[in-house]
Structure 1
Amino acid sequence: MLAFQGAFHKFKVMAIKFLVLSLLFSVLAMTDAESVGVCYGKLGGGLPSERDVVTLYRNNGITKMRIYEPDQAILRALKGTNIELILDVPKDNLQSLNDQGNANTWVRDNIQRYPDVKFKYIAVGNEVDPNNDNRRYVNFVLPAMRNIHNALRAAGLDNKIKVSTATYTGLLGKSYPPSDGEFDNNVRGFIEPIIRFLAQNNLPMLANIYPYFGYLGDPNSNLQYALFTAQGTVVNDVNGRQYSNLFSAMLDAHYAAQARLGGENVKIVVSESGWPSAGGRAATIENAGTYYRNLIAHVKGRKGTPQKPGRCIETYLFAMFDENNKQGAETEKHFGVFSPNQQPKYQLKF
């Protein structure tokens, strides 16, 4: 009887260990797959309070957020939640952060002051481009990145919080076919040192990927290719790579462009991607809903891209709300996945 009890006890212990390991692997798999976040911009009228917005994220299972400045009200509302955060350094702050002391103060005031906020990335500048009005910021980006990285390291946070900058497809001089992707000649002097800095410090690149704008510039106007609804291959590339959606093609063009400048192993985080619901060609509720649903399914399905197959693509939808105060084209005001009254525009499973 004692022998039986001992054997039963060992069996029970093994069963419990197996159950615990199974649950652990399930949690890890779910965590790896749950790669969809939503950007939170505030350039709109009648938006909910910051605390209500954080509650809206949590109620919808959205575990990742991007904000475009260190908004203290948002940071306070995020305290104690499990929402991972991309925090932007606004372009107007870049020059001051070329001073290490100022960078230390910035990290102290906006990061260390909030130990209960899950900072994940610092985006030092968004879409700085030597070829447009943002050119005046070009010389400030990399020094600010270095100084923020140094400040994080001095605070013992560099293993938890990664420094980067947010680039975009407008910096590419060539993107078709994807394997020929390369940065514009006028951009290389700006972006190559940044890519090498990221590679040397095992940091990711953030990239804003918008098939909607790629569709507008496509002479073939292949809407299905942009919406993930194409039936079969649309683009054949080298080494048998086949593309049935524009999102993967644009992302792989970025990877190819990085590889030419020493960034072959630099991971890309898609820091923005979205489709407008009004204001321009193909900007409809139906198309936007199709895009968001298919994008979520694609990145959560671990399909990767033809150049990086099977890889989880960490992606942030743009944006949480329509922002009627945004400048530029009318479409810029209609990227929200929620209306200001907190009602969903689309049925999305984050």
Structure 2
Amino acid sequence: MGFLDAKDCKAFMAPILLLLAFILSGLELTGAQSVGVCYGKNGNNLPSEVDVINLYKSNGIGRMRIYEPDQPTLNALRGSNIELIIGIREKNQLQALTDAAAATSWVQDNVRNYWPDVKFRYIAVGNEVRPDYAEAQFVLPAMQNIRNAIAAANLQDQIKVSTSIDTTLVENPFPPSQGSFSGTASSFINPIINFLVSNGAPLLVNVYPYFAYVDDPQKIALPYALFTSPGVVFTDPEGNRGYQNLFDALLDAQYSALEKAGAPNLQIVVSESGWPSEGGDAASVENAGTFYNNLINHVKSGTPKRPGQAIETYLFAMFDENQKGPDQIEKHFGLFTPGQQPKYQISFGG
């Protein structure tokens, strides 16, 4: 067999280069979709659901979190290709879903009726349920029943069932290597962790450097919370890992707790993170814009404990919500005003 001449070589290489370009564009798209935005509706002045979906699309936001089934939103999502976390957070609903038939009906009404036109990614059964809450006992049975209903629909490979916790279930978060679930939290979270591991689902965690900072401003510097520290702020003796921002420290404390709970390979999805623009200490447009931009850029590269692993992250939230409370600060986490104007100059693709 002879050597290829220049013409043959071009003909041979063209499809290979085309395939390579396709693969690289796919990787680029995946990276761009690593940041989602939570869509809360606690406002009486918010745009229509169709306008909201168009706003997501025009800003290149490829993922969304909603907190409960909402028919107008689900209908507006049809054909959008936006990947969705759909939540179940009402206390009475969690208890109702401990009945298998009710869980089957819930999946039929809120998932199967929209699939595959709506791209469901996760079902979050409960949001920030604490171990001492009355509904805590219902979270795992509801998760099991929802997962069984998803499996019966043959969607278990496409849609994962999880729950969303806050960072307070972990005690001793400093240094991050010492993080572990508290004694009270363990009896609640350990069976949930086992469920997630056995079903290949991630744990959803709401991570807020803002609240950690305002709770202890004497010990935590503002640049450390805003990703603007010029260098390493402290080094964790275990593993000699250097920390330059609070977000990484909070997240790695969660990973340390999972390791101690026997789940070292369980992935975490950051299901909320944000910074308010007014209403409290260090709440300003400048600080919030700095935080969101730096967070988007940072989550592409992982944490000291999980380097090189992009962190699937959802910014909180799409709009200021004038009916949230009781604290004023809760009304000011929006990336956009209710009039759909951006509050910050943000590129959501990083």
TM-score, structure 1 length as denominator? 0.95
- Kindly state the Cα deviation for residue 12 of structure 1 after the two structures are TM-superposed: 3.7
Paired letter, 1:249: A
- Residue 307 of structure 2: aligned partner: 309
Instruction: Say how many residue pairs are matched.
Output: 342
Q: 1:161 aligns with which of 143, 159, 174?
A: 159
Instruction: Name the SS of the counterpart of 1:136 in structure 2.
Output: coil
- Superposed CA deviations along residues 21-46 of structure 1, whole A, max 9, x for unmatched, are 22122123213312110000000121
How do 1:1-350 and structure 2 match up within 5 A?
10-34=8-32, 35-92=34-91, 93-115=93-115, 116-131=117-132, 135-218=133-216, 219-237=218-236, 238-299=238-299, 302-350=300-348
Instruction: Name the SS of the counterpart of 1:292 in structure 2.
Output: helix
Instruction: Name the SS of the counterpart of 1:286 in structure 2.
Output: helix
Alpha-carbon contact 1:322-1:339 (below 8 Å) kept: yes
Alpha-carbon contact 1:91-1:137 (below 8 Å) kept: no
- Kindly state the Cα deviation for residue 129 of structure 1 after the two structures are TM-superposed: 0.3
Paired letter, 2:209: P
- Superposed CA deviations along residues 241-290 of structure 1, whole A, max 9, x for unmatched, are 00000001101001111111122111000000000000110000100000
- Kindly state the Cα deviation for residue 14 of structure 1 after the two structures are TM-superposed: 2.2
Paired letter, 1:104: T
- Kindly state the Cα deviation for residue 130 of structure 1 after the two structures are TM-superposed: 1.9
Instruction: Name the SS of the counterpart of 1:16 in structure 2.
Output: helix
Instruction: Measure, in 2, the Cα distance between the counterparts of 1:161 and 1:328.
Output: 34
Alpha-carbon contact 1:32-1:312 (below 8 Å) kept: no
Instruction: Name the SS of the counterpart of 1:98 in structure 2.
Output: coil
- Kindly state the Cα deviation for residue 145 of structure 1 after the two structures are TM-superposed: 0.7
Instruction: Measure, in 2, the Cα distance between the counterparts of 1:90 and 1:168.
Output: 14
Instruction: Measure, in 2, the Cα distance between the counterparts of 1:304 and 1:74.
Output: 32
CA RMSD of aligned residues (A): 1.4
Alpha-carbon contact 1:228-1:245 (below 8 Å) kept: yes
Instruction: Measure, in 2, the Cα distance between the counterparts of 1:319 and 1:233.
Output: 29
Alpha-carbon contact 1:289-1:346 (below 8 Å) kept: yes
- Kindly state the Cα deviation for residue 328 of structure 1 after the two structures are TM-superposed: 2.4
- Superposed CA deviations along residues 69-92 of structure 1, whole A, max 9, x for unmatched, are 010000000000110000001232
Paired letter, 1:275: W
Instruction: Name the SS of the counterpart of 2:333 in structure 1.
Output: coil
Instruction: Measure, in 2, the Cα distance between the counterparts of 1:233 and 1:290.
Output: 19
Alpha-carbon contact 1:173-1:185 (below 8 Å) kept: no
TM-score, structure 2 length as denominator? 0.95
The unaligned stretches of length 5 or more in structure 2 are none
After superposing the two structures, state which structure 1 stretch, 25-34 or 201-210, moved more.
25-34
After superposing the two structures, state which structure 1 stretch, 9-18 or 272-281, moved more.
9-18
Percent of aligned positions that are identical? 54
- Kindly state the Cα deviation for residue 202 of structure 1 after the two structures are TM-superposed: 1.1
- Kindly state the Cα deviation for residue 303 of structure 1 after the two structures are TM-superposed: 1.6
Paired letter, 1:338: F
- Kindly state the Cα deviation for residue 10 of structure 1 after the two structures are TM-superposed: 4.1
- Kindly state the Cα deviation for residue 9 of structure 1 after the two structures are TM-superposed: 6.4
- Kindly state the Cα deviation for residue 109 of structure 1 after the two structures are TM-superposed: 0.6
Alpha-carbon contact 1:39-1:320 (below 8 Å) kept: yes
Alpha-carbon contact 1:91-1:126 (below 8 Å) kept: no
Instruction: Measure, in 1, the Cα distance between the counterparts of 2:287 and 2:6.
Output: 59
